Amino acid sequence: SSGINAEWPLRPGVHDEVKAENDADNKMVTDKEDVVIEDIKKEETDENVEKKEAEVVEVAVPEKEKPEMIVLDDINDEDTPGPDEIPTAEERGFWKAVDDNPNDFASWTYLLQVVEKNGKLKQIQKAFTSFLALYPYCYGYWKKYADQMKKLISNEAAFEVFNDAVVAIPLSVDLWTYFIHFIAEWKEGDESEIRMIYRRAVEACGQEYRSDKIWEAYVEWEKQTDKYKVLGLYKEFLGCIVQRHQYHFDKFREWIFFTPVKDMVTMEDIKVLLAKHKEEAERRRKETELKRLEEEELARQLAVAAEEQRKIVEEERLAADAIREEKLKEEEKRREEERLKEEGQRAALEAANKEEDVEMEGAEEDVKMDDVKMDESTPEPGVDESTPEPAPVVTEEKEEEKEEEEAKEDKKGRKSKRGASKRAPAKRTSRRSRKDTEEEEKEASETKEEEKVEVVEDKEEARKEENAAVEMETAAEQENVVAKEEEKENVVAKEEEKEELKEENVVSVEKDPEEQVEKMTEDFTKVDMEEPLPDSVDALTDRQEAAVREQILLDMAPVHEQILAELEEVSCFEEGIKRPYFHVKELERIQLKNWKNYLNLIIEKKDTARTIILFERCLIACAFYEGFWIKYVGFMAEIDEEETSKIYRRACMIHLVKKPQIHLNWAAFEEKRGHLEVAREALDHIETNLAGLIAVTLRRAGLERRSGNMQQGADILKGAIDTCRGRETRDYWIMKYVAYMQFNMCDLEKTREYLKEQVERAQRNKRLYMKMLEVERCPTTVTPDVPNVIEVFQRALTSSLSVEDKAGFSHRRLTFLEEFGTDVGMIIDAYDDHNRNYKSLLEEKKRERESSSHSN
The whole-number pLDDT of residue 681 equals 94
Give the span between the Cα atoms of 214 and 485, in whole angstroms: 66
Q: Is the CB of residue 466 less than 8 Å from the CB of residue 328? A: no
The whole-number pLDDT of residue 579 equals 92
CA 461 to chain centre: 69
The whole-number pLDDT of residue 156 equals 94
Give the span between the Cα atoms of 544 and 536, in whole angstroms: 12
Please list the helix, strand and coil fractions of the chain in percent, rounded to the nearest 5, in that order: 75, 0, 25
Of the candidates 167, 226, 166, which has an alpha carbon nearest to the alpha carbon of residue 194?
A: 226
pLDDT, tens digit (0-9, with 9 covering 90-100), for 323-353: 988 888 888 888 888 888 888 888 888 888 8
Per-residue confidence band for 58, with pLDDT thresholds at 50, 70 and 90: very low
Q: Can you tell me the mean pLDDT for 319-324?
A: 89
pLDDT, tens digit (0-9, with 9 covering 90-100), for 684-727: 999 999 888 999 999 999 999 999 999 999 999 999 998 888 88
Of the candidates 490, 485, 506, which has an alpha carbon nearest to the alpha carbon of residue 296?
A: 506
Q: Can you tell me the mean pLDDT for 644-658?
A: 94
The whole-number pLDDT of residue 749 equals 87
Between residues 385 and 735, the one the model is more confident about:
735
Give the span between the Cα atoms of 148 and 158, in whole angstroms: 8
The whole-number pLDDT of residue 43 equals 38
pLDDT, tens digit (0-9, with 9 covering 90-100), for 541-587: 888 888 899 999 999 999 999 999 999 999 999 999 999 999 888 99
Of the candidates 844, 832, 848, which has an alpha carbon nearest to the alpha carbon of residue 803?
A: 844
The whole-number pLDDT of residue 626 equals 93
The whole-number pLDDT of residue 366 equals 72
Of the candidates 754, 732, 818, 821, which has an alpha carbon nearest to the alpha carbon of residue 784?
A: 821
Per-residue confidence band for 530, with pLDDT thresholds at 50, 70 and 90: low
Least confident interval from 144-158, 473-487, 733-747, 817-831: 473-487
Q: Can you tell me the mean pLDDT for 75-103?
A: 73
Per-residue confidence band for 663, with pLDDT thresholds at 50, 70 and 90: very high
Q: Can you tell me the mean pLDDT for 394-405?
A: 55
The whole-number pLDDT of residue 180 equals 95
Average pLDDT, the chain: 77
DSSP codes joined into one string, 96-148: HHHHH-TT-HHHHHHHHHHHHHHT-HHHHHHHHHHHHHH-TT-HHHHHHHHHH
Per-residue confidence band for 679, with pLDDT thresholds at 50, 70 and 90: very high
CA-angle at 361, arms to 358 and 366, nearest 5°: 125
> Distance of CA 410 to CAs 113, 145, 416, Å?
132, 133, 8
The whole-number pLDDT of residue 70 equals 34
CA contacts within 13 A on the Cβ side of 373: 16
The whole-number pLDDT of residue 9 equals 35
The whole-number pLDDT of residue 372 equals 63
The whole-number pLDDT of residue 419 equals 44
The whole-number pLDDT of residue 648 equals 95
Per-residue confidence band for 14, with pLDDT thresholds at 50, 70 and 90: very low
Of the candidates 688, 683, 684, 691, which has an alpha carbon nearest to the alpha carbon of residue 666?
A: 683
User: Is residue 528 predicted with pLDDT exceeding 60?
Assistant: no
Share of the chain above pLDDT 70, in %: 70
The whole-number pLDDT of residue 855 equals 66
Single-letter amino acid, residue 622:
C
Give the span between the Cα atoms of 421 and 789, in whole angstroms: 112
The whole-number pLDDT of residue 151 equals 92
The whole-number pLDDT of residue 523 equals 43
User: Is residue 787 predicted with pLDDT exceeding 90?
Assistant: no
Least confident interval from 44-48, 290-294, 313-317, 376-380: 44-48
Of the candidates 629, 622, 617, which has an alpha carbon nearest to the alpha carbon of residue 208?
A: 617
User: Is residue 376 predicted with pLDDT exceeding 60?
Assistant: no
User: Model-level pTM?
Assistant: 0.63
Q: 567 exposed, middle or buried (CB, 10 Å; 0-12, 13-18, 19+)?
A: middle
Residue 153 is given by DSSP the state T
The whole-number pLDDT of residue 574 equals 94
User: Is residue 484 predicted with pLDDT exceeding 80?
Assistant: no
Give the span between the Cα atoms of 215 and 607, in whole angstroms: 22
Q: Is the CB of residue 648 less than 8 Å from the CB of residue 633? A: yes
User: Is residue 296 predicted with pLDDT exceeding 80?
Assistant: yes
Q: Is the CB of residue 149 less than 8 Å from the CB of residue 158? A: yes
